[in-house]
Each structure stands twice: as C-alpha cells, then as structure tokens.
Amino acid sequence: MRLPAPLLLLLSGVALAAALTWILPAGQFDRRDDPVTGRRIVVAGTYHRVDRAPVGVFGGAVGVARGFIAAADVIAVVLFVGGAWILLDRVGALEAVIADLVRLLGAGGLWTIPLLSLFFATLGALENMQEEIIPLVPALLVLGAAVGVDAITVVSISGGAAMIGSAFGPTNPFQAGIALKLAQLPPLIAGGLRLAAFLIAITAWILWTLRHATRNAESGLQNADSSHDPHPQSIRNPQSSIRNYVALVVMLLPMAAYVYGVLRYDWGFAELAGAFLLGGFAAGLIGGFGVIETLNVYVEGMQALLPAALLIGVARAISLVLEDGRVVDTILNAFSSALAHASPVAAAFLMVPFQALVHVLVPSVSGQAVLTMPLMVPLADLLHLPRLVAVLAYTTGAGLTEFLTPTNGALLAILVAAGVPFQKWLRFAIGGVAIAAALGLVVIALAMRP
C-alpha cells in the first residue's frame, strides 16, 4: 500500500469530510450542560433532522484555517516545547548527557526500550501525553542511533508507549476520567482489573517493540554509523560537565511541574508551553549562551517544528468540517441505532469498533467521550450491561485507534519528525495494536461478569 505524503493525506481527509456533508442527511442531538463534568453533553434519544449545511470548496479551505485556530494550544506546545529542547541540544547539554548514558549502558543498550517505554506509558496514563513527544523526537533519535535501534523503535518507545498508557491507564483524566464521570461511576471502579490491564498491555507492547528492535538492530547501527560503531561520531567524545546536567534538570522541571499541575490545578497546554518557555531560556543561559543568542536559537528551534504544527492544524480541520456540515451526529446516530439491535454480548464487543470508527472522525479523545458516552451509557442500561463496559469499550476503541488513524495529527507529526513513513509505521504497529485490542476485549468480558 502506497500512501501519499502526510499533508496531502490530511488535505484529502478534509475534502472527503466536505463531500460527506453533501451526501449524508444533516441531524443533531439535543445537548445540555452537565454539572458533574462541567461539559456540554449529548441527550440520548433526541436525534432529529436539521437543515442541511453542505461545505463547499471555499468552506473546506476556511475549515483548514479554522483548524489552526482550534488547535492553537497544541501548536503552541509543539513550538514552545520543541524550541526549548532544540535549544538544549544546541548548547551541547543533550549531546553530552546522551553520550554518558550510552557509555553507561554499553552493550546492554536495548534496556533503554523497557525503561523509556515505562516512562512514556506512565506519562500517557497520567496526562494523555502525545503532542508533547513531538519536540523530543530529535533527542530520542540520537539516543536510538547510539544504542543501535531504528526510528520505528524510537517512535514505539515514545509515542507508542504513551498511547498504550493513555488507552489502558486507570488514571488518565482525559479518557477514562471523563468517561467515568459521564457514566456516573467512581474514578477508581474496578481499579485492580484496570491496573492489571495497564501492566499487561505495556508489557506486551515492550515485547513487541523488542521483537522489532532485535530484528532491525543491524540497520539501526548502520544508520548510526557506517562502521557499525554503536557510538556515533557526533556523540563519541562530547565534553560532559555539571553544567550540562544542571541545564537538563532545568528542562525537566517544567514537565514535572506540568504533571503536578494537571492533577492538582487543572493545568492545560498553555501552562505547559509557558513553563517550557521559562525552562528553555534558563537552560540556554546555564549552557553558556547570552540572552540574544538564546532567543535566536529558540526561534530557530521553533521554526524546525513548523511542519509538525502544520499537520496538527490540518488534522483538526477534518472534524470541524464535519461539524459545520451537521453530519457528525448523523453518523453517530446510525452506529448507536445498529448496536441497539444486537445481543448484549455482541453489543459489548461491537462498541469497540464503533468507538474506533468514531475516533477517525473525532480525533479528540475527550471530545469523543463527551459525544459518545451519553449515548453508550443508556444503551448499556437498555441491554443490562454494566456501565463500566461502555467506558472500557470507549477507552479501548478510541485509545488504540490513535495508533492507526491519519486524522491523529500528533501521530503524523511524530512520524515526520522521526522520518518514518506512515505506511511503514502501520506495518509495524498493527500487530501490537491487535494484541492490545484482544486484551481490551478480555477486560470487557471480565467486567461483564456479575
């Protein structure tokens, strides 16, 4: 399968979304403000036809521009965080620290795979990390080349592990947290089952990644250096110093503060971008740059991340065009009506592909929770299924589709930053996603037991 370049693929998605607004009937559900979540949610059983609002060529182009506005917070994170990390690399701190890490690991460099996978999976479980990984990719590629693994392995231990953590993490406030609130369930319901699922899922993903890494270790070493030296020339003899580590710690503090702020103060991407703006400037000054040089290098780093930001803005436009054409609820109503006629067990399992298909159209996991859970929870009640089943089907279907859908702008941006073609990533990821999906179905089956 040959897929077009990521930007062309997303623009084609915008065009297809616009075409659907001419084909499908327009319709909407009624919505109400939910005092528990503070969000506007769908009222089940209220779908009705509305006036058509087809989106033309100009409307689609405007939708692309609006996509950048709607994704402004995510784009700001990519630019500000990315500029900070590239600045850290320019002062030589990142190079020196990675070289020390490579010397420490020696021949056992593959141990970085489980260690980094657990790190990113934990962040995915805590705060749905994905966009924040984009600016880290260049540094991770240097480390990957040093220990002899290819770019796909680098994406897998970072973005892939984070998505596993997001899908199965029992503490994810943006997926499981919102869905459980909308289902009126306690946040730690079936905590033991969900924690076990998270540990099994990340273990399976690590093994899947190690399988690929060991099979492609030779190509990874060749990419690092034509002489098969596991320590590339660019990081073979860097000057390590206390100053390098102080600069790195200063750069890590914003991420630690952000995780705490999300859990305690409901921080968002604006706070993350602001924290890295301060951390990046501090790291530049500590690394030996002056104020003007720090500013100039920071801006150059932000410019390097513009292609990734472009993909995120265009990806967001797809769902905006569908919303403008008033067909999102039409698609959702068709799926939920079909599930209502299935047996309880079949409906429980079919909720997973249903949520997966919806996620292609609605790439925001929190937005999808608000859109679908008010429909799936009454359906679960109607079929005498535990409400937790509807939540688990959502986290499995939506969370694992993040790996595969081209409407996930963050995924495409990570792949572009790593130099990995989308179709090549699909060939690697689809097997691991299938294993994770099978685990998700087992967890759903266990949740159905009285």
Range of the domain at 51: 6-448
Render pLDDT for 390-404 as a digit per residue (tens, 0 to 9).
999 999 999 999 999
Q: Which two tokens stand for residue 138?
A: 């260049």
Distance from C-alpha of 173 to C-alpha of 188, rounded to nearest angstrom: 12
Question: Please, is 307 exposed, middle or buried when counting C-beta atoms within 10 Å of its C-beta (0-12, 13-18, 19+)?
Answer: middle
Helices 161-168 and 422-448: crossing angle in degrees, nearest 10, is: 20
Whether 350 has a pLDDT exceeding 90, the answer reads: yes
Alpha carbon of 266 to those of 132, 181, 399: distances in Å? 17, 16, 22
Residue 306 lies in a domain: yes
For residue range 283-298, what is the model confidence (pLDDT) as tens digits?
Answer: 899 888 889 999 999 9
Give the single-character DSSP code of 32: E
**Torsion, CA 100, CA 102, CA 106, CA 108, rounded to 10:** 130
DSSP type of residue 98:
H
Task: For residue 108, give the amino acid letter.
Answer: G
pLDDT digits (tens, 9 = 90+) for 40-50: 777 878 889 99
Give Cα 341 to chain centroid, integer Å. Answer: 33
d(CA 348, CA 339): 9
Element spanning 326, H or E: none
Indicate whether 230 pLDDT > 50.
Answer: no
Do 201 and 193 form a contact (C-beta atoms < 8 A)?
Answer: no
Tokens 């569908």 locate to 322
Residue 297 is assigned to a structural domain of this protein: yes
Higher pLDDT, 195 or 90: 195
Q: Specify if 1 maps to a domain.
A: no
Pairing of β 39-42 and β 31-34: antiparallel
Cβ–Cβ < 8 Å for 93, 289: no
| Tally of CA atoms within 13 A in the half-sphere of 29 that contains its CB | 21
The separation between the first and the last C-alpha atoms of the chain, rounded to the nearest angstrom, is: 45
Please tell me which residue, 379 or 422, carries the higher pLDDT value: 422
CB atoms within 10 A of CB 144: 29
Whose CA is closest to 172, among 395, 400, 428?
A: 395
The token duo for 421 is: 């073609």
104-149 tens-digit pLDDT: 655 456 788 898 899 889 888 877 778 778 877 887 888 888 778 8
Q: What is the pLDDT of residue 58?
A: 96
CA distance 413 to 10: 12
Domain-located, residue 300: yes
Give the dihedral sign, CA 125/127/133/136.
negative
Eight-state DSSP code of residue 43 = P
Smallest Cα–Cα separation from 326: which of 22, 37, 90? 22
Q: How many domains does the chain have?
A: 1
Query: In this model, does residue 233 exceed pLDDT 80?
Result: no
Which is higher by pLDDT, 75 or 151? 151
Alpha-carbon span 276 to 255, nearest angstrom: 8
- For residue 221, how far is the Cα from the chain centroid? 28
* Residue 101 confidence (pLDDT): 67
Closest C-alpha to 4, from 436, 422, 425, 445: 422
Q: CA–CA separation, 158 vs 124, rounded Å?
A: 10
